[in-house]
Amino acid sequence: MPKDSQSGAVRSDWTRAEAEAIYGQPFMDLLFQAQTLHRAYFDPNRVQMSRLLSVKTGGCAEDCSYCSQSARNGATLPASKLMEVERVLAEARKAKDAGATRYCMGAAWREPKDRDMPAIEAMVRGVRALGMETCMTLGVLDDRQVLRLKGAGLDYYNHNIDTSEAFYSKVITTRTFADRIDTLARVREAGIRVCSGGILGMGETAGDRIDMLLALATLPEHPESVPINMLIPIADTPLAEAAPVDPIDFVRVVALGRILMPKSHMRLSAGRTAMSDEMQALCFFAGTNSIFMGDTLLTAANPGEDKDQRLFARLGILPEEASGQVCKSAE
């Protein structure tokens, strides 16, 4: 195992050989290394709480094989119009009252249209006025749209790379892996923080999972948030019959992400309804320190607040404070 992988230094020059060596070490050693680094930068008993709302559902022109909102892959979810701003803000107030410190808003688009930008900007300003961090996921952005979101005060932009570059075309053909990386660079250049991660369980190999994390960990700046999703098989989509992810393999990916990107929030995202409390506890030990709260995650089920509160009570976990900043520094 490379000595630098244990030092806590934030690096963007990881090699494939280093990542493979870290990932492939004995499970207990991997978890110990990940937890040690996690404690160097974060309070190990606090988890950042986000809430995700679909502000425009269905009818997406993309063909992402995992998604119920695609108009092209056989899913039957009906399309809706962009939600009214006041309704979004009403939901954000509820989320804040329930303990969320970051409010994430997603729209099922390939890219937003200019006519929708005033409403999107109003949502960002309104949520920020509530004292919450804001995050948007709207698909591909051009330079003008990025600057408009920056001007509205957007804190984070989510744009997942989903999987490795090699496996990407087996999941999505309407957008390239390079398109995703370009959007991340555009967002970063504008001064908006980046949220980007991937999905496990789409038929990819362990090598693809390593490469997905490496693509993020070798960016000039690591994403501040890294969502790790477990596929929720959706009826009528190409991945409806996908085999479940081995829980230990999933935890290994979380641990690798924590080691490669020690200052990033690692978010346990979609798929938690299929995870046991014990699997989630291992993910927290491996470096997860962010979740989506609430009983709905875009269009999929998510554990409700009551279930999360019971799990947190068993584990002695508390919500992270609203600032969302790293608590320590190993540098």
Q: How far apart are CA 322 and CA 100, in angstroms?
A: 8
Question: 255 near 233, Cβ under 8 Å?
Answer: no
Q: Which residue has the tokens 């990025």?
A: 146
d(CA 64, CA 69): 9
Burial zone of 287 (CB within 10 Å; 0-12 exposed, 13-18 middle, 19+ buried): buried
Residues with catalytic roles: 60, 64, 67, 104, 135, 195, 267
Which residues have C-beta within 8 Å of that of residue 130, sequence separation ≥ 6? 89, 92, 93, 96, 103
For 88-146, where are the E strands, in sequence order? 102-107, 133-137
